[in-house]
Chains A and B, each alone.
Chain A
Amino acid sequence: MATTLDVNGKPVTVKAAPETPLLWVLRDEIGLTGPKFGCGIAQCGACTVLADGQPIRSCSMPISGLAGVKITTVESLGGNSALQQAWVKNDVPQCGYCQSGQLMSATALLAAKPKPTDEDIDAAMDGNICRCGAYQRIRAAIKDAAGMTPAAPAKA
């Protein structure tokens, strides 16, 4: 049975079974490998994409529930969004595996709260694990992209 999804602004018809999690359809069938597999149970956020602008964990979201929903992945940000520029400027990534998910959560955050407080960042970003511990720079880059005064660089 074919399912039609709206991915990054384009209709895509896929043949995966309806119960298949969105992540595997994006990665294996559509070829969008920005969203990553990290835990499979919506605990780590590496697979985060937006559904009608809201962050969802695509590893745990069957495609059957996504008809008519606008799905956007890191690929849709274009590589040069304010957040992505801030990510590069602050040298946020280390291993980089979680960063697509981090960026999608941050994108949803800034869309809802253009000048987020630290508490807003805590709430929006705590679902995204970074084992390299780039958290401090993720926070700084979000504030940077939001045009807020970033923390002083932690350097001698």
Chain B
Amino acid sequence: MNAPVNPENLKSGATRRELVVGTALVGGALLVGCSPGDLLSIGAKTDFGAFGPFIKIGADGVVTVVSKHIEFGQGNHAGLAAIAAEELDANWSTLKVEQAPAIAKVYANLKMGVQGTGGSSAIANSWTQLRQAGASARAMFVEAASNKWNLPAGEITVKDGVVGHPSGKSATFAELLPDAAKVTPPKEPKLKDPKTFTLIGTDRVRRKDAQAKSDGTARFTQDVHLPNMLTAMVAHAPRFGATVASFDATEAKKVAGVVDVFQIPSGVAVVAENTYAARMGREALKVTWDESKAEKRGSKELTAAYTGWAAGKGALPEKTAWQGFETKGDFAQAPKGELFEATYDFPFLAHATMEPMNCVAEVSAGKAKLTFGSQIPTVDQLNTAKIVGMLPGAVEIETLFAGGSFGRRANFQSDYAAECVQIAKKVGKGRPVKLVWTREDDMTAGYFRPLTHHNVKVVIGADGYPVAWRHRIVTQTLMKGSPIPSKGLDETTVEGAKGSPYLKAIPIVDGQALLPDVGVPVLWWRSVGATHTAFVMEHTIDQLARKAGKDPIAYRLALYDKAGATRHTAVLKLAAEKAGYDQPATAGWTRGVAVHECFGTVVAQIAEVKLVDGAPKVGRVVTAVDCGVAISPDQIAAQMEGGTCYGLSAAMFGQITLNNGVVEQTNFDTYRVLRNSEAPHVETYILPSGEAPSGIGEPGVPVIGPAVANAILAINGQATHSLPIVKA
């Protein structure tokens, strides 16, 4: 890192000038793509115990694993803890999990370079790190026992937090702790042979938070109540890009419990003694908006424009061009054959987490503390630091359980957290402020999965398989506002089409993306690019199989064979076997198949579907998954079940529409989501694997949509060209 300032000089007691330099420097570090962990951690506490930043052992011998990743449902706390516990041979039943503070230097996501959770990377990036942490602590106990008992370290065993020797000598972690803590940690601790794992891969690896989440004691941001705390709500503009022209707070201030009303960059804040007062105060507030720069296009206009551009009609918007993502051969020179053409339209989607966005902030001179479900703490520190004028590393973040995210909380602008910091800064004196968004705030605030259009042209060869494939995708980039300027195409917009085994198997491919600038804030949405690319690839392939008169599984397997996609082949064969594909489906039901790789994990599903009053009902869904070493089979199944519901909810019902720039859905009465009676029964089968683990939080989402569309195709021959399937 070419830093002109010695970070050692930038302690938390830095002068104002140093603060400014530090902030500029951190921005610069991000801009040149350096790993900013060290700089971003200046001012943070870094004193850890004898066993390092990931493992704490109490005087009672109870092991606590420190998770650098937020837990918002995906079960990573169980998996992360199990990795360390396995190598440490800790007592799993008493083991606890604790959330790490924000210190990028030690808790960075090794796939991101900053502290954060996303891209289904928690387990994958922690695998070696936590194995080493556990193995190191284990070696320290072994050495302590070896010294104490004067016996060779190689003969000493550890099981369930008890250190022992065949001679009968035995001591608990608690008993050996004072000695073990003095042992110098080994530089390269020896890791177990995975074949000898006794915890990983067993049904003992269960959630550690199930009790607290079943008795009401699990603490979410919404539940934070601090002495002297104020609650804030913000009036936001009805259209994206509009700003406050003026406001009249007379009536709002008359509401009992309202403390103050003031303007902040994102709107007008109403600060009150409690949530209800804040809400009533905001209802009484009058705001006039300047909409001169607001986005006024609606979903219909955007869909029409995208469709035209993809079809080659009309001039492309300024400063845009088609960018290639897969190019092989020349589509114009493709051999003659039957032409298949299809377009697919996907709406904006809200994440619609159960807990609407919220945050608690305390700001005083030289101090800022945030308490909330922070998904990318480093970015939240950086954005907070810019607002309050201090070093990012000195911004304290206490990360709580979050009531879902699905991508919403990983935001380059830290939108709602920054909003809370703005309010807390104005309130000042370190007085805690809880920002509460209503469901309506949450649903209309944007950061949607972008509205997306696909245009696919396929030349079919004499054998019924594609010989040339042209694929155009029109969508918005997700990297707008990123501190790291993207070089070339934003890959999140095309992933899943790019890298598809089908395209690998086809001789001529022309994949292109167009990313127009639209004033609607967009963001990753659980499984990201695959939310649309998986549907297009899998539904198109099924239509091609049908045209060729071939079985959809056999058709796929032939293409996987050509592409060398052995993992796809394996999961599809496993799913077919478990579904009893050689036998008829359950009477009255029709099968639909889909397969997709997402964040390194391959999922195949065979869904049984029937139409009830024209709408699909999904019953049994056989799922096969290859995610490398399975740490918690139970939580892998849970993510397949939940991911399937999340994907099915979007495919069946999910849509945010804009009319003249105004979001039309405001709550669950108009944004329909899957309910219990509509949930399928998911059976999960895990492919045995010795490979390093890949992600599990997202890959279960994108497969069910095309599986259902493929079943409908099998039922009535109708292809699905726009989502959601059930029109409002």
Contact = CB atoms under 8 A, between A and B. Distances in A.
Interface of A: 16-17, 20-21, 24, 27-29, 31-41, 43-44, 46, 73-75, 77-79, 84, 87-88, 91-100, 103, 121-122, 125-126, 128-139, 151, 153-156
A36 B439 contact: no
A87 B211 CA distance: 8
Contact of B210 (A27, A91, A98, A121): A91
Contacts of A78: 215
Given A95-B72, A156-B685, A121 B676 contact: yes
A155 B432 CA distance: 46
Interface string B196-230: 00000001001101111111111010110100000
16 contacts: A38-B354, A38-B356, A39-B667, A40-B667, A74-B216, A84-B211, A91-B207, A92-B214, A93-B214, A94-B73, A95-B355, A95-B401, A95-B402, A125-B677, A135-B676, A156-B633
B211 A88 contact: yes
Contacts of A137: 638, 641
B667 A36 contact: no
B641 A88 contact: no
B641 A136 contact: yes
Top 6 A-B residue pairs of the complex, sorted by shortest distance between their CB atoms: A133-B645, A34-B216, A97-B403, A96-B213, A95-B73, A94-B73
A133 B641 contact: yes
B215 A37 contact: no
Interface residues of B, number: 68
Interface of B: 72-75, 203, 206-207, 209-218, 220, 222-223, 225, 231, 256, 274-276, 352-356, 401-404, 406, 436, 438-440, 633-635, 637-638, 641-646, 649, 667-669, 673-677, 679-686
Nearest to B223: A33
A79 B218 CA distance: 12
Contacts of B643: 133
A24 B274 contact: yes
A84 to B, nearest CB: 5
A57 B379 CA distance: 37
Contacts of A46: 354
Contacts of B644: 133
Given A97-B354, A135-B645, A28 B209 contact: no
Given A37-B275, A131-B646, 11 more contacts: A16-B276, A38-B355, A38-B439, A40-B438, A74-B215, A93-B213, A93-B218, A96-B403, A97-B404, A131-B406, A156-B684
B623 to A, nearest CB: 8
Q: Main secondary structure on chain B at its contact with chain A?
A: loop
Nearest to A134: B642
A144 B682 CA distance: 18
Contacts of A33: 216, 222-223, 225
Contact of A154 (B225, B436, B679, B684): B684
Contact of A99 (B213, B646, B677): B213
Contacts of B641: 133-134, 136-137, 154
| Most central of A33, A35, A75, A128 by chain B CB within 10 Å | A33
A155 B645 contact: no
Given A84-B215, A96-B403, A91 B222 contact: no
Contact of A29 (B207, B274, B634): B274
| Most central of A84, A93, A138, A151 by chain B CB within 10 Å | A93
Contact of A136 (B634, B669, B681): B681
| Most central of B638, B641, B682 by chain A CB within 10 Å | B638
A61 to B, nearest CB: 13
A19 B75 CA distance: 40
A151 B214 CA distance: 21
Given A28-B275, A88-B214, A133 B72 contact: no
Nearest to A139: B676
Contact of B676 (A21, A27, A128, A155): A128
B674 A133 contact: yes
Contacts of A98: 354, 403
Q: Main secondary structure on chain A at its contact with chain B?
A: loop
B682 A75 contact: no
A17 B416 CA distance: 29
Contacts of B682: 136, 154
Contacts of A28: 225, 231, 274-276
A41 B674 CA distance: 17
Contacts of A97: 220, 353-355, 403-404
A130 B681 contact: no
Contacts of B276: 16, 20-21, 24, 28
Given A28-B276, A39-B667, A131-B673, A94 B75 contact: yes
A153 B217 CA distance: 27
Contact of B216 (A39, A73, A135, A154): A73
A36 B222 contact: yes
B216 A130 contact: no
A131 B402 CA distance: 13
Given A21-B276, A24-B275, A94-B74, A133 B222 contact: no
A24 B222 CA distance: 11
A129 B354 CA distance: 8
B216 A122 contact: no
Given A99-B213, A126-B677, A156 B220 contact: no
A126 to B, nearest CB: 5
A134 B685 CA distance: 18
Contacts of A131: 352-354, 404, 406, 646, 649, 673
Contacts of B402: 95
| Most central of B73, B75, B669 by chain A CB within 10 Å | B73
| Most central of B210, B225, B673, B680 by chain A CB within 10 Å | B210
A130 B354 contact: yes
A135 B683 contact: no
A6 B703 CA distance: 48
B676 A36 contact: no
Contacts of A139: 676, 679
B669 A41 contact: yes
Contacts of A92: 210, 214
Contacts of B642: 94, 132-134
Contacts of B440: 40
A134 B638 contact: yes
A43 B404 contact: no
A156 B439 CA distance: 38
Contact of A132 (B220, B404, B680): B404
Contacts of A16: 276
B308 to A, nearest CB: 35
B209 A93 contact: yes
A22 to B, nearest CB: 11
Contacts of B646: 131-133
B664 to A, nearest CB: 16
A33 to B, nearest CB: 4
Given A38-B355, A98-B354, A131-B404, A79 B211 contact: yes
Contacts of A84: 211, 214-215
| Most central of B402, B439, B644 by chain A CB within 10 Å | B439
B73 A125 contact: no
A38 to B, nearest CB: 6
Contacts of A44: 354, 439, 668
A43 B436 CA distance: 18
Contacts of B406: 131
Given A24-B276, A95-B402, A98-B354, A39 B668 contact: yes
